[in-house]
Amino acid sequence: MKIVVLDGFAANPGDLSWDPFQEFGELIVYDRTEPSQVISRIVDAEVVITNKVVLSEEVFSACPSLRFVCESATGYNNVDVAAAKKRGIPVSNVPAYSSSSVAQMVFSFLLEIAQQVAVHSDAVHQGRWTSCKDFCFLEHPIFELEGKTLGIIGYGDIGKKVAAIAVSFGMEVLACSRTYRPELSTDHITIVTQDEVIRRSDVITLHCPQNPESQGLICQDTIAQMKDGAVVINTARGGCVVEQDVRDALESGKLAYYAADVLSSEPPRANNPLLGAPRALITPHIAWMTTEARTRLMNTMLGNLKAFLQGTPINVVNP
């Protein structure tokens, strides 16, 4: 059996091992694959592992040997799952492997905003403390999280982990998801409508999938409904915000901060409006990339492959 990994570098830049996959056949690992290379690389493969490389109807038509697709991520919008199903090809993903890591990133952003660690550390290294007349100095206002309201849009596995951390900091938590289920409220977490999350929150964090409902969710209209000085954190998808509207709100002071691990195109174009925007913290889509999360990813993919070969595929997204 031939197993081809089309874009393995992000998941495994060299610190993990693909060796366990060789137990099941010939393994070829490509760090990256251009669209023009996809068919030639998997035309005789039975198993393909992909993260962002697109597997379209055209690809499936040209690769009749394919028997199984393993998505090396939770999202699978790069695979035409209907085309795969039509040919009896199961597509398996890796659910919830990075939930803890993404929740951690949310609070990395939020704690940096609240405590201004980098600003003060830089000031110390620049000699500001050495020359200070007092035992301390404040370069920028800082604030407590306790008592603030955190609004979560998308109350799935990641959203629930974020909520638990927020409660431990003494924050009030408002959460909403596609289905309004107020009966899921607890003593510290209140299920509300999306409009309420937007209107009442000091901090809004996005954990929803990008779809027609969430496309451009954070925009001029919704920002206008937010509290003055609100903070927005996006570790979901870049397309969930209108980036120019966010920049405008940062420049006007309506938004205090915008923190994002995702942008509308990745890597971003040089003219992306968020690059260079005031009080915008941007990281290069790394929330999922902790060693622990990537290890879980690799192990789950291996489990998906084993289950398929045993005739009982798991984590199938096109049953």
285 carries an active-site annotation: yes
3-state SS record for the chain: CEEEECCCCCCCCCCCCCHHHHHHCEEEECCCCCHHHHHHHHCCCCEEEECCCCECHHHHHHCCCCCEEEECCCCCCCECHHHHHHCCCCEECCCCCCHHHHHHHHHHHHHHHHHCHHHHHHHHHCCCCCCCCCCCCCCCCCCCCCCCEEEEECCCHHHHHHHHHHHHCCCEEEEECCCCCHHHCCCCEEECCHHHHHHHCCEEEECCCCCCCCCCCECHHHHHHCCCCEEEEECCCHHHECHHHHHHHHHHCCEEEEEECCCCCCCCCCCCCCCCCCCEEECCCCCCCCHHHHHHHHHHHHHHHHHHHCCCCCCECCC
Out of 207, 237, 294, 296, the active site residue is 237
Out of 178, 200, 279, 285, the active site residue is 285
Burial string for 277-286 (b: 16+ CB within 10 Å, else e) reads beebbbeebe
266 carries an active-site annotation: yes
Out of 23, 139, 144, 266, the active site residue is 266
Cβ–Cβ < 8 Å for 316, 91:
yes
Active centre residues (catalytic): 237, 266, 285
